[in-house]
Amino acid sequence: MNKIIISLLFLVTTFQNSPFAQLNNSEKIPHGKMVSFVFSGSKLYPGTQRTISVYLPEQLNPAIPACVYVQQDGFNAGQKLDLILDTLIARNEIPVTVGIFVTPGMVPSPIANNPVRPNRCFEYDAVGDQYVRFIMEEVLPSVSKEYNLNLTKNGNDRCIGGGSSGGIAAFNAAWERPDAFSRVYCASGSFVGFRFGNMFPTLVRKTEAKPIRAFTTTGTNDMENCAGDWTLLDLEMDKAMKFSGYDYRFMELKGGHVVGWKEHFAEAMRYLWKDWPTSIKAGISAPRVRDIILPSESWQEVKVNASNIIAAAANSNGEVFFSDGNQNKIFKIGLDGLVTTFLSNAGFCNGLSFGEKDELYTVSEKTGKIMCYDNLGKGKIIEQGIFGHNVFSIPEGGLYVTGKDVVSKTIKVWLVKNGKKMLVDNSLPFAAGIAMTPDRGFLTIGEGSSHWAYSYQVGAAGKLINKERFFTLHTQDWEENAGTEDLCYDREGHLYVATRYGIQVCAWDGPTQVILPSPAGRITRICFGGNDLDMLFAFCGDKIIKRKVKGHSLGAYTPWTKMTPGKL
């Protein structure tokens, strides 16, 4: 009898909390309508065809931008998600929201009677920004045009969801573009080894926390196949998000794959939209990230009139210099933030570095000259015949230079010192940036055509010995390499590497521990500067961004500094 009473109470409570319950006896819930169209002609996924279904709430006001919910794997009428949205909107538990349900693409065979090829795994399971670009650049504009809708342009007003591969696609869209989607419902997310989704728990732990709120679930008996165990990987994601301080909720539900998707849809929407329109804030980030960043500091743009920044360096005062390849000029960012011209003719330089007396060295792939300039811009030739890409000044008057040999067309590394040049390596596929540890014992050179950075011991007379592929960097799904462009050390011993993923920060003993995403596109050069030498500058083609961090500038002008082991 007690079990019967408990069961009845559970059913009553469940109905009372159900999204289908009426507001009251006299008030009815307005019902929106479902419409759909076939979408083809995608430029990002050429040849695909798909159905896009759209939920239009009755409360839509054309004068007010509507919030958006995007769902992968299309609309299933049997789940009655449109009725749940009706109720949630009527109760003011979520804002007035247009639902956009997108099926994965299908590619028809060019041969008659052959089956169509599914595009689902390629679109949904890939780690990168292509799918979110598809939603932002193709789907949302098409839906707006098709139904003459005024959709929000604010990522805080957008939510995205899905189950299984659709779940990882939803999370990845917000991960890549939190400015586009800040709310995620992910059921039994496929964070497994289809297209490197199994790297997500690691990326979440290493990357500076993003302004994302998530409602995630898994089944106690979820899917398991060649790509991995969904339950275990979803549990890994739970722990990773907790580790990095995310605003999220995780539920391990009794059952199999995508268990509870419909049953917890309303609960997920309430959680994700709570406190709206208050903006979702990023979490505190993981411990190693907090070793690098300052919680009150974020990226700020430096206003410059630049078009192609190809080199950068800072002097001992913290003044930052950069060269613009299109203008063939070197500019200076003063401690007051003002940008002035330092050299009107930069000699087509590709690399900049300051010496121990604040003299500025440049190299040029075009002229083959290494130049030295005093603080007034008066220059002299140091060496000729080295068509250099990067230059790095070391204490006691020496330069390491990387460049392409004009005869063999191979990449070489030279040490230029006391009017002489010495070849110290000729086996790098591509050199991208040079840096030295604070104790002067090791030299690091980035390798732009792989996911490695090489470490050398600095031997007698500056020779480079015991070369190792020491630093491993993160890459995206379809990228052949990490795209390393530049690197530098801070005085505390961290290695900062400019990659496609943003700035990856490696510990002295090798592992990449921190990833700082770029809000301004691909970073090509980095350096420290500012009044206290703790301002990290990142150069992104025609943009410059900066942020105050815990590390400090390191250069030829810096005294020898003892290296200490980092934390795991």
pLDDT tens digits along 398-440:
999 999 888 888 999 999 999 999 999 999 999 999 999 999 9
| pLDDT given at position 190 | 98
Question: Residue 2: CB partners within 8 Å, gap ≥ 6?
Answer: none
pLDDT confidence band for 8 (50 / 70 / 90): very low
Can you tell me which residue has the tokens 């739970």? 238
Whole-angstrom Cα distance, residue 43 to residue 105? Answer: 12
- Domains of the chain plus CATH, in order, are 28-285 (3.40.50.1820), 300-428+490-548 (2.120.10.30)
Pick the more confident residue, 90 or 109: 90
Q: In this prediction, what percent of the chain has a pLDDT beyond 70? A: 95
User: In whole angstroms, how far apart are CA 154 and each of 66, 117, 175?
Assistant: 10, 35, 16
Question: Which DSSP letter does residue 224 get?
Answer: E
What single-letter amino acid sits at 33? K
Burial class (CB in 10 A: 0-12, 13-18, 19+), 438: buried
How confident is the model at residue 516, as a pLDDT? 98
- Which pLDDT score is estimated for 12? 42
* Backbone dihedral angles phi then psi of residue 499, each to the nearest 5 degrees: -135, 180
pTM of the entire predicted model: 0.92
pLDDT of residue 113: 84
Helix (H) or strand (E) holding 159: strand 158-163
Mean pLDDT of 281-295: 96
Measure the CA–CA gap between 243 and 238, rounded to whole angstroms. 9
Evaluate if residue 17 carries a pLDDT over 60. Answer: no
Residues 6+ apart with CB under 8 A from 327: 306, 307, 308
For the residues 368-384, what does the mean pLDDT come to?
A: 96
pLDDT value at residue 9: 44
**Residue whose C-alpha is closest to residue 166's, from 216, 202, 210:** 216
Burial of 350 by CB count in 10 Å (0-12 exposed, 13-18 middle, 19+ buried)? Answer: buried
Task: Please give the average per-residue pLDDT across 158-162, as a whole number.
Answer: 98
